[in-house]
Amino acid sequence: MNEIISTDISDCYLRFADENDVPMILEFINELAKYEKMAHEVVATEDLLREKLFGDRRYAEVVLAYYQDTPAGFALFFHNFSTFMGRPGIYLEDLFVKEEYRGNGIGTTLLSFLAKLAIERDCARLDWAVLDWNTPSIEFYKSLNAKHLDDWMTFRVTGDPLSDLAERFS
């Protein structure tokens, strides 16, 4: 088991996930997808997560939050790079706290830990996206002084359009 990371919250601790945690990570992903009304989009499997998170090339990292020794939430993140700042950043792909544990400071603890990790790793920033209808999360992020980037739009290419675009390169 990985090292326990103490927090300011009584009965709460964090730790980095290891390969044995893959079933729990997939469970959190499915719960998040259900909350976001996107459960039909989850195609991740334990084998795929095991390979991509803990294989020879690790594409992302996961921090698990426990409350009273029970898995309560997770954060999945990876490094990006700011060409303007000339330094890496951390991109938070997913943050989720189970409904029964919300309001205990676990989300704030996970984000605070990632901010601390970003500073320790000489990162210039911590970025993430939120669905525009998710008012509780938006208000939560604003309470932490996170800024909404009005000038930026997110674009994505996946599936057949991704393949079509790749075929343009020869």
Give the alpha-carbon dihedral of 164, 50, 60, 97, to 10 degrees. 110
| Residue owning tokens 């343009």 | 168
Q: Which two tokens stand for residue 136?
A: 């509780």
Alpha carbon distance 50, 25 (integer Å): 10
Closest listed residue to residue 73, CA positions, set 98, 92, 93, 94: 98
Active-site entry in 66, 67, 91, 141: 141
- Asked about 101 being catalytic, the answer comes back as no
Alpha carbon distance 122, 145 (integer Å): 20
Q: Which residues are catalytic?
A: 141
